[in-house]
C-alpha cells in the first residue's frame, strides 16, 4: 500500500507541474493577445453601433482630451503653413478655435470611434462630422458593414472609377501598458494612430489618438 501511494505521488507531481506550466503559458498568451481582442471587439461594436460595448472599451474623458490637443495641433500647423504674410491668418485662427469644440464633441462618440477605427480621422474641416451608420445596418443588426475610408490626399475629385480601398493597418505594443494601431491609405498619405491603454490585467481602452502619424 505504501508503495502504491509513493507511485501515485511520483506520477501526480509531474502532472501537477505540467498543468501549472500550461496554465501559466495560457495566461501569458491571453495577456499578450488581449489588446488585439479588445481592438476586434471594439471595432465590431462600433461598426454595429453597439453603444454599451463601445462604452466598455473607450475612455471618453481621455479620448476627448487627446482629440482636443491633436486637433488644436492640426489646425495650428495648417495656419502656420498658410500664414506667410496672409492678413486673414488671425481670422482663420479664430475660426479654427471655434471648430475644435464641436469637432471633438462629434468624434468622442460611438460614431466617431467607428470612423477612427475605419481609417477616417478628423481633418479639421468646417462642419466636419464622422459618417453616419451604414445604411445596411438599418433594421439588420447582424449585417457586417464595409468601411468607407476617406479619400487619400489629392483624391477629392475621384471619378468613381476606382473604389476606395481600406486603409493599411499595423498594430503592436509600444510599452507594456500601451498598444498602438496605425492607419495609412497609401504611400505618401498621412498616417494617424489610435492608442489603447491597459485597464487592469486583460482590459484595454481606446484612450488617445495621434494625428501626426
pLDDT digits (tens, 9 = 90+) for 158-198: 444 454 567 889 999 999 999 999 999 765 567 899 999 99
* 3-state secondary structure (DSSP) of residue 38: helix
Q: Are 54 and 44 within 8 A, CB to CB? A: no
- Asked whether residue 46 is assigned to any structural domain, the reply reads yes
Instruction: For residue 123, give Cα distances in angstroms to 104, 138, 166.
Output: 11, 27, 18
Domain count, the chain: 1
* Interval 143-155: pLDDT, tens: 444 444 444 444 4
Counting Cα atoms < 13 Å in the Cβ hemisphere of 196 gives: 30
Q: Are 70 and 211 within 8 A, CB to CB? A: yes
CB neighbours of 211 closer than 8 A, spacing ≥ 6?
70, 71, 73, 74, 121, 122, 190, 192
Who has greater pLDDT, 3 or 54?
54
- Asked whether residue 138 is assigned to any structural domain, the reply reads no
pLDDT band with cut points at 50, 70 and 90 for residue 15:
confident
6, pLDDT greater than 70:
no
- Asked whether residue 132 is assigned to any structural domain, the reply reads no
211, pLDDT greater than 70:
yes
- For residues 182 and 42, what is the distance between their CA atoms, to the nearest angstrom? 16
* 3-state secondary structure (DSSP) of residue 14: helix
Residues of the chain with pLDDT > 90, as a percent, come to 46
Task: Provide the domain limits for residue 89.
Answer: 2-127+147-152+164-210
Amino acid at each position: 500500500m505504501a508503495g502504491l501511494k509513493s507511485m501515485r505521488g511520483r506520477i501526480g507531481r509531474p502532472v501537477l507541474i505540467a498543468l501549472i506550466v500550461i496554465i501559466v503559458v495560457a495566461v501569458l498568451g491571453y495577456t499578450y493577445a488581449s489588446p488585439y481582442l479588445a481592438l476586434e471587439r471594439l471595432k465590431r461594436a462600433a461598426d454595429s453601433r453597439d453603444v454599451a460595448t463601445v462604452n466598455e472599451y473607450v475612455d471618453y474623458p481621455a479620448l476627448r482630451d487627446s482629440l482636443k490637443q491633436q486637433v488644436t495641433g492640426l489646425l495650428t500647423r495648417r495656419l502656420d503653413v498658410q500664414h506667410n504674410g496672409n492678413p486673414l491668418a488671425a481670422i482663420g485662427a479664430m475660426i479654427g478655435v471655434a471648430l475644435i469644440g464641436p469637432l471633438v464633441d462629434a468624434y468622442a462618440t460611438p460614431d466617431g470611434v467607428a470612423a477612427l477605427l475605419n481609417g477616417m480621422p478628423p481633418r479639421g474641416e468646417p462642419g466636419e462630422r464622422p459618417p453616419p451608420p451604414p445604411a445596411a445596418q438599418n433594421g439588420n443588426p447582424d449585417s457586417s458593414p464595409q468601411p468607407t475610408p476617406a479619400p487619400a490626399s489629392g483624391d477629392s475629385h475621384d471619378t468613381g472609377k476606382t473604389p476606395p480601398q481600406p486603409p493599411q493597418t499595423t498594430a503592436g505594443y509600444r510599452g507594456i501598458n500601451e498598444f498602438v494601431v496605425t492607419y495609412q491609405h497609401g504611400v505618401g498619405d498621412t498616417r494617424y494612430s489610435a492608442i489603447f491603454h491597459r485597464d487592469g490585467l486583460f482590459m484595454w481602452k481606446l484612450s488617445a489618438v495621434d494625428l501626426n502619424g
